[in-house]
Amino acid sequence: MKITVERSGGIAALTRTWTVQATTSSDKSHWQPIVEACPWDAVPDSRQVSDGQPDRFMYSIRAGQRRATLPERAVTGPWRVLVETTRAAAEQTPRNGTATGIRS
Amino acid sequence: MICSIIPPYMLKRLAAQDAPRFSAVRRAAKEALLHVKTVQAARTAPAPVTPPGLRQVQPAPPDRSVYDAKSAESLPGVLVRKEGEAPVGDPAADEAYDGLGHTHSLYADVFGRNSIDGQGMPLNATVHFGKLYDNAFWDGQQMVFGDGDGEIFERFTRSLSVIGHELAHGVTQFSAGLAYRNQAGAINESISDVFGALVEQYFRKQSTADASWLIGEDLFTSQVEGTALRSMKAPGTAYDDDVLGKDPQPDSMDAYVRTSADNGGVHINSGIPNRAFCLVAQAIGGNAWEAPGQIWYETLTGGSLPPTATFSVFAKATAASARELFGDGSAEHDAVREAWETVKVKH
């Protein structure tokens, strides 16, 4: 399972992407509960998502076939755990953690 | 209520005087014209966004408070410095305090605006928000600054244009109320860059020719190949770094970026109206907070800009403001129309 967290926006408008690959059964048993704890079905249409606060970050999260776009203030609880765990894991493995300019 | 005994046509002539010895007259005439426009708008507009009479309020001195979030994410945090108190020795807190004051000065001195909401709103800021937080934002009521991660970003209070940028979001919120998505969002962002740049230029007393036209200078650490977050003069050239990539801002509609990220690219496509403003300032010359700033400020606060304005609607509105303030076919009016032509926005 591939997990990707893309953070866009912010006053600097630098899109940063953190990716991890859960390939072994041990990896999958670690990531599965973190991913499944998130309320994927309760996320509004990404075109309707707006934080209402200028210059806050926007998060686009993908885990396998599941996708969610969330404003920064909605990244709480299990979403925050998923984002921070993904970021920490990606940053431990530099090739998986990338920081890029905006990508359309 | 302020009444003007000088008729509008004469005010327009005075406002158009470009000789240095007429600078005081020119500014007074422009301010009087803004008041005239306000009264005219109040007579004709069915529901002005800005309550009538705000511009008649004498701007009050700033009322600043700076808080310390102590690396947490709850606001406002612990109060560390109030209005009139001496510096506390924390660079972030003292830079925020000074930046709020410089921003207040631009709006009060140049545009006669009584704080962010036009009604003397206290200016509050929180510093040290979050852990290694790479951002600064306006939350609808106050400023919030992160410390940066130390690898890409320094603390966000280092840049006066960033402080001015964030507070301009407040001015937009209390005036045109522009949406924060797609082209309206990019205009919202551009207006914040424009007034952020003007705050910095007015504080430094820099003319258009002397100014850097950079937003967020001094924010990058020395490890980054870049000078700032954005360049208003040359969008797309602010940085080119192995890690960050290249500055993605377009400088005309030919390179407009369609993206779902960043609320539809609000920080990306803002490069187009940013360049338009810079071109207007370069064509007019002198200080950008004078005629160019007056035109943009009038467009923002005049009550006719819809919240979902496109670039084209905004361009037409700025041309209308220039015509209203300086006359049809004036140098200012021509400068605005030519700028939008250069960036290929229909107007």
Report how far residue B80's alpha carbon sits from residue B89's, in angstroms, rounded to the nearest whole number. Answer: 10
- pLDDT tens-digit profile of B241-283? 998 899 999 999 999 999 988 889 999 999 999 999 999 999 9
**pLDDT tens for each residue of B176-233:** 999 999 999 999 999 999 999 999 999 999 999 999 999 999 899 999 999 999 999 9
Residue B211 token pair: 């100014």
Distance CA A64, CA B92 (A): 42
CA A100 to chain B, closest CA, distance in angstroms equals 5
Report yes or no: B108 and B59 within 8 Å, Cβ to Cβ. Answer: yes
B338 Cβ under 8 Å from any chain A Cβ: no
User: Which residues in chain A touch residue B169, judged by CB atoms under 8 angstroms apart?
Assistant: 54-55
Among the three residues B119, B153, B172, which one is the final residue of a domain in this structure?
A: B172
Name the minimum distance, in Å, from the CA of A40 to any CA of chain B: 19
Q: Do B103 and B142 reside in the same domain of the chain?
A: yes
Q: Tell me, yes or no, whether B204 and B335 share the same domain.
A: yes
Is B83 one of the catalytic residues?
no
Question: Closest approach of chain B CAs to the CA of A82, in angstroms?
Answer: 17
Among A38, A24, A19, residue whose Cα is nearest residue A82: A38
Question: Are residues B318 and B7 in contact, defined by beta-carbon separation less than 8 angstroms?
Answer: no
Contact between residue A96 and residue A20 where contact means Cβ atoms under 8 Å apart: yes
Q: How far is CA B101 from CA B96, B106, B122, B189, B215, in A?
A: 9, 9, 11, 21, 18
Q: Which residue of A has its CA nearest to B142?
A: A53
Nearest CB neighbour to A54, from listed B156, B188, B246? B188
pLDDT at B34: 53
* CB–CB contact B189 A100 (8 Å): no
Q: Does B88 touch chain A (CB under 8 A)?
A: no
Domain coverage including residue B193? 182-342
Confidence of residue A103 (pLDDT cuts 50, 70, 90): very low
Q: What is the interface pTM, i.e. ipTM, of the complex?
A: 0.81
Judged by a CB distance cut-off of 8 A, whether residue A102 touches chain B is yes
Tell me the C-alpha to C-alpha distance, in Å, between residue B38 and each of B22, B45, B123, B172, B234. 24, 10, 25, 17, 34
From B152, B172, B192, the end of a domain falls on: B172
In a shared domain, residues B326 and B229 = yes
In-domain check, residue B78? yes
For chain A, say whether B242 makes contact (Cβ under 8 Å).
no
| B62 and B35 within one domain | no
B85 catalytically annotated: no
Please return the burial class of B107, using the count of CB atoms within 10 Å of its CB with bins 0-12, 13-18 and 19+: buried
| Tens-digit pLDDT profile for residues A62-85 | 999 999 999 999 999 999 999 999
**Are B115 and B260 members of one domain?**
no
Residue B230 located in a structural domain: yes
A9 forms bridges with which residues in the sheet?
A57
- The angle subtended at Cα B195 by Cα B239 and Cα A71, nearest 5°, is 65
